[in-house]
Amino acid sequence: MRLREWFVFALLFVFAALTLCACKKAEGEKKESFLQIGEFAVNRISADRTEVTDGAGRKLLLIPRNAPMPKDYNPNQVIRVPVKSVVAYGDFEIATLRALGVLEDTLVGVTRPEKKWYYDDVKNGFKSGKIVFLGEPQSLDYEKLKNQQPELVLTWDPSVIPMLEDLHIPAIVTSTPIAMCLNARMKFVKFLAPFFNKDKEADLYFDKVNKSLIALRERTAQSKNKQKVMWGDIYEKRVLVEPGNAWVGELLGYAQTNYLFNDVYGTSCIEISVERFLHSGEEADVYFTYRSKGAGATSKEALARTNPLVKTIRPLTHGKVFIPLPHYTQSGDKLDEIFTELAAIVHPDVYPDYKLKYFEELPAKEPNTKGK
Amino acid sequence: MKLAIYICLALVMDLGYGYLSIKRHTTLFAPLNDIGVIEWSETYGLHNLEHTAWFFILIILLTFLGVNTFICTTDRMLVLTRARKNMEPLRFMFSLAPHVMHYAVLIILSGYLCSYLFSTVIPMKSLIPGMPVPIGNSGLTVTMQKLELDYYTGRRMPLFYNYALGVQARLLIADGAHQRQATLGINDPVWSGAYGIFLKDYSPRKKDGGMKRASDRVDVSIRKDYGVYFYMAGMLFFFVGLLFYVYGMVYFKLLKKGTS
């Protein structure tokens, strides 16, 4: 009996000592060694080795351009940094390259044709021939892709990974099974920074966005209205919304609103039932739709025509409806402005005279039929 | 005995906190299955101690419980062995049953420890039809030959109409010298030697979804995990112990009835 007690105490002592040592080590190395960004991660193993985890959980190793190829890694998952040429699928990734100040020097291929770009840096890249349209994501032209000799592909589509591995082009998956939270959205720039040795720029950008978040929180706290907000759309065959865990859901919470899909959890643009959508629609004050003017959302009346069920929701009869402007999705490098704009939309009383840049409020009727 | 009760109470409190922690910070704990406990502790674990401390406390408590159980059970086993000469063989066997179950729990726990410490995991490999994919350093190559999706066409759950609720991926697994076919499905992994291939995700999720963004593919994770054999063996031992325990109870009850 006595022996057992001694044994237990000895074990307790060893574990307590180990935990204390580990805590001390973690405190000392906390900031520089490991960074988790939602489902992404950056682990600085040493000065010459940084391991990153992409949105699909794949690990890739970043090494300096002149370093020898490590033997313990699959060469397809080793990326030499700073990366000099990138192919990117998503608007947000491209905007993040802009935030890091590397877009013009590194972007060589995209999956959206020239006429669908709104920012000059990408347009100029097309004009000079540096940036090439590689085809739609579902039918990528791999010959063109190979000709561009990218050192990295940023893709949301994991199905291209086997082909890219066959072409010996390293790739990272930027989509995640669960929607990107607000923290991950703001820190994504810190995930891409080590690929270009732009950590300082990433920190500055993050600080700027973080300041805007703090500012909008303080300002919206003064508002007397707590608006009820919904974000999504009814399409012909499905109803898609932004879940509460997505960055817009969290942001609207920070902006002192009641986001009506807070109970919905999952991927971005998640499908829910029509009944659930209409239930929230009964009490909502503000409605953000995915549709743009090009997709028929020119007025509340026009929106109601696209689906008779939508016309029953409160924002169309007594509230406000906002649509994203075409350049909104390509403006991910202006997160601070977008955050402030969303706060201004839901709290016009504390943002008087705010002029919208990324969203537009829908009029009740088509402008040309007004007054008839 | 007292110590075991205190440890169990502490475990309940710790796991209660752990439940809330996992629920609120799922992304912190999700990589634990893929990267193992040591790498996870060095990265996610120690950098988020306010949310992960319960896990380290859990390991400590489970170790104490394990050591305590082992010592107590072995103590009793030794007493029983010494008293064996004065017992009927059947009674001796039945009285061993609870101790077999205790040892079984220890084997199951060490199986989990083995899994989290020594398993080799490739967290994600995408397979597309006709494209051979090498699996790490295993020497295996996996090719998805065909993807068969079973779409829901019933009317009782309108939200799931035309959703792919069943998936079967026909795989060709080659190890250089031999090749064989296998079918991978949800909760239906494929085994090749020590390697297990598990379905993680698949695409498309919906027939004629209108917003189909990706081509046919399945995402798999590949694990080489010897811990599985431990917990399989532990479960078998537990079952045998339980069988003897219940049988013994019934046997002695009937015996008592017969003699009275």
Give chain B's radius of gyration (CA, Å): 25
In this predicted structure, what is the pLDDT of residue A22? 54
Residues of B in contact with A235 (CB under 8 A): 210
Over 60: is that where the pLDDT of B212 sits? Answer: no
Q: Which percentage of chain A shows pLDDT scores above 90?
A: 70
Segment B16-29 mean pLDDT? 92
Q: What is the pLDDT of residues B56-67, one digit of tens each?
A: 999 999 999 999
Cα dist. B84→A144, A151, B93, B97, B101 in Å? 81, 73, 10, 14, 19
Please tell me whether the interface predicted TM-score (ipTM) of this complex is above 0.85: no
Distance from CA of A296 to the nearest CA of B (A): 17
Rounded CA separation A336/A205 (Å): 9
Q: Dmax over Cα atoms in chain A, in whole Å?
A: 96
Tokens of residue B164, six digits:
């792919």
Over 50: is that where the pLDDT of A30 sits? Answer: no
Q: What is the pLDDT of residues A195-242, one digit of tens each?
A: 999 999 999 999 999 999 999 999 999 998 889 999 999 887 789 999
| Ordered domains of chain A (ranges, CATH) | 34-196 (3.40.50.1980), 224-369 (3.40.50.1980)
A370 vs B46, more confident: B46
In this predicted structure, what is the pLDDT of residue B65? 92
Residue B59 near residue B38 (C-beta atoms within 8 A):
no
- List the 248-267 stretch of A: residues with Cβ below 8 A of B: none
Q: What is the pLDDT of residues A302-356, one digit of tens each?
A: 888 888 888 889 999 999 999 999 999 999 999 999 999 999 999 999 999 899 9
Element counts in chain B: helices (H) and strands (E): 7, 8
* pLDDT mean across residues, chain A: 89
Segment B154-165 mean pLDDT? 84
Contact A15/B at CB under 8 A: yes
A5 vs B212, more confident: A5
Rounded CA separation B204/B211 (Å): 10
| pTM attached to this predicted model | 0.85
Domain boundaries, chain B: 2-119+229-259, 121-224
Please name which of A104, A167, A164 lies closest in space to residue A137, comparing C-alpha atoms.
Answer: A164
Q: What is the pLDDT of residues B94-145, one digit of tens each?
A: 889 999 999 999 999 999 999 999 998 998 899 999 989 888 777 889 999 9
Contact B91/A at CB under 8 A: no
In this predicted structure, what is the pLDDT of residue A371? 47
CATH hierarchy code of domain B121-224: 2.60.98.10
Q: What is the pLDDT of residues A266-304, one digit of tens each?
A: 988 898 988 999 999 999 999 999 998 888 888 999 888
B16 vs B153, more confident: B16
Rounded CA separation A84/A106 (Å): 5
Contact A124/B at CB under 8 A: no
Alpha helices in A223-333 (DSSP H): 247-254, 274-281, 300-306, 314-317
3-class secondary-structure state, position A284: coil
Contact B56/A at CB under 8 A: yes
Q: How confident is the model at residue A29 (pLDDT cuts 50, 70, 90)?
A: very low
Q: How confident is the model at residue A368 (pLDDT cuts 50, 70, 90)?
A: low
Strand (E) or helix (H) holding B172: strand B164-174
CA angle B18, B23, B24 (to 5 degrees): 100
Tokens of residue B47, six digits:
């950098």
Please report the sign of the dihedral spanned by the C-alpha atoms of residue A220, residue A343, residue A185, residue A94: negative
Give the pairing of strands A59-64 and A49-53. antiparallel
Q: Which of A8, A39, A159 sits opposite B27 (nearest CB)?
A: A39
Residue B64 near residue B7 (C-beta atoms within 8 A):
yes
Please name which of B34, B48, B9, B50 lies closest in space to residue B198, comparing C-alpha atoms.
Answer: B34
Backbone angles phi, psi at A276, to 5 degrees: -65, -40
Q: Which residue spans within B58-139 are E strands per DSSP?
A: 120-127, 133-135
